[in-house]
Amino acid sequence: MSFLKTFFGSTSRSSEFIEVISPEDFGKAIKNPHVQLVDVRTAREYNNGHIAHAVNIDFFDATTFNETFKRFDKEKPVYIYCRSGSRSQKAAARLVGMGFEKIVDLSGGYMAWDNTNTFL
C-alpha cells in the first residue's frame, strides 16, 4: 500500500481503491470466468493478443469507455490491464472517479503477462 501512496500521493483517493498486483497474482485472481476483466488497449492491440475472457474497452475512446463501464457492477472488483501499465493506471483513476470501489491493475501490463503466463 505504501507504493500506491507514493505513486498516487498520500492525499489521493485512488490509493484506497486501486491495487497493483503481479502477473502471477493477477492470473490466480482472474481464474473465475465471471470476473470483470478489461483490456484497456486499442482494438488493434487487443486483436494481436489478449488475456482470455477480457473485454476490450479502449481507454482512448472516452465516450465508449464511460458508456460501457456504466453497465459494470461498481461494487465488484474490476481487473484491468494495458500494454505496459501506464494506461491502466490512468483508467483505474478514471474508474475511481466513476464510483468503482475496487480496481485491480496488472503490474507491467500485457507485456509482463505475456512473458509470465505459463503458470495458467
Residue 89, domain CATH: 3.40.250.10
Mean pLDDT of 58-79: 97
23-35 residues labelled b (16+ CB within 10 A) or e (exposed): beebbebbeeeeb
Count of domains observed in the chain: 1
C-alpha distance from residue 13 to each of 17, 78, 83 (Å): 7, 17, 24
Mean pLDDT of 77-105: 96
pLDDT of residue 3 exceeding 60, the answer is: no
Label residue 15 by pLDDT band (50, 70, 90). Answer: confident
Contact 26, 79 (CB under 8 A): yes
Look up residue 117 and give its DSSP letter. Answer: G
Supply the range of the domain harboring residue 19: 2-119
Active site residue 82: yes
pTM: 0.84
| Catalytic residue from among 18, 82, 104, 106 | 82
Label residue 117 by pLDDT band (50, 70, 90). Answer: low
